Amino acid sequence: MDTCRIPANASKCSGSTMECFMVLSTQAQKISISILCGLFGTLCVFENSLVLYLIFSSPGTRKKPSYLFIGSLALADILASIIFVCSFVNFHVFNEAGFSKEVFLLQLGGVNTSFSASLSSLLLTALDRYISISRPSEYKLLMTRKRAWTALAVLWVICATIACLPLLGWNCCVLDSACSELFPFVDDNYLSGWVCFVVVLLGCIVYAYAHVLWRARQHVAYMEKHQAQAGKQNSRMRMDVMLAKTLVMVLAVLMLCWSPVLVLMIYSIFGRLSDSLRKVFAFCSTLCLLNSMVNPIIYALRSKELFSSLRRVFSHFRRQLKAAEESPEAESTHKSSVIET
């Protein structure tokens, strides 16, 4: 398996060469990938599903554009986790190569759509926070729910269209061009374009957050100088500053988890990858799941509204358990067991 070399030409379009991309050669590597994907994927789906429930079950959060964008991020992470884990484990662990080119490109398009939508949701959230901090008096007029939903719809359509271009014909089999060393059937030029798209998104997010942090620092200095004026405006500024810091933490985790993958993608475009580097790429890909798993934890710890909603959910669950234990049926069962004893 390690000696399977991939020529940089279109002959890689045959189904038998799918095995050349199955870089995990030992049972220990396959077990490690399975454990990482299973653990990160399960926690990611559970945590992000909880975030979606907390957002849309509370009237105070589901009406705010900020949390609509966070909900979009959580949905993207859920879809990415499910599609990534199923396709990645099936391909690299079980070495299933019986599916067609179209099925593989559809799975890859699903993962790319979810990741692109996750990045774009972070960008919209950064822009939302910047407007809220820099122009608080006009925020409700500028950022309405209708505009937020429209922006999210446009975002998902653009991301899905770009991610599905290989399925629609931009692949090395149809174009008879050089294929990627990392992904079967994927054209090198398309991979270059997608990486550029992701880098531009990351650059815009960093630029937007730089302005958010600058405005947040100004608000912190203002609040320290005017602590006596403790009113609704100060309370709102504290919330904006807290949310800005939270989203910066999300961005930092995103960069740390996705930088190795993007670096290896860029390197594969300009040079040849060894078998060892391709194995490293496979393991680094699981960091994407780690990123999706960590995001909800940051929300729960940093967002006061989501944390309060989580506490209410746990309190309601405890009350239901207590009521079930004190119900007449439970008491009757307890008495019957005592009589039998």
Residue 211: per-residue pLDDT: 80
Residue 2: per-residue pLDDT: 42
Distance CA 181, CA 274 (A): 10
* Residue 82 maps to a domain: yes
Cα–chain center distance at 294: 9
* Residue 321 maps to a domain: no
**Beta carbons within 8 Å of 112's beta carbon, 6+ residues apart:** 159, 162, 163, 194
* pTM higher than 0.85: no
Encode pLDDT of 46-103 as tens digits.
999 999 998 888 877 888 888 899 899 999 999 989 998 988 888 888 877 667 788 8
* Residue 37 maps to a domain: yes
Distance CA 14, CA 1 (A): 17
Residue 334: per-residue pLDDT: 47
Report the CATH number at residue 159.
1.20.1070.10
pLDDT < 50 regions, the chain:
1-3, 7-11, 330-331, 333-335, 337-341
Distance CA 136, CA 128 (A): 11
Count structural domains, the chain. Answer: 1
Residue 46: per-residue pLDDT: 92
Residue 328: per-residue pLDDT: 55
* Residue 331 maps to a domain: no
Residue 330: per-residue pLDDT: 46
* Residue 192 maps to a domain: yes
Residue 234: per-residue pLDDT: 56
Q: At which residue do the structure tokens 């945590």 appear?
A: 47
* Residue 328 maps to a domain: no
- Are 104 and 179 in contact, with CB atoms under 8 Å apart? no
* Residue 16 maps to a domain: no
- The SS3 call for residue 8 is coil
Range of the domain at 173: 24-226+240-304
* Residue 129 maps to a domain: yes
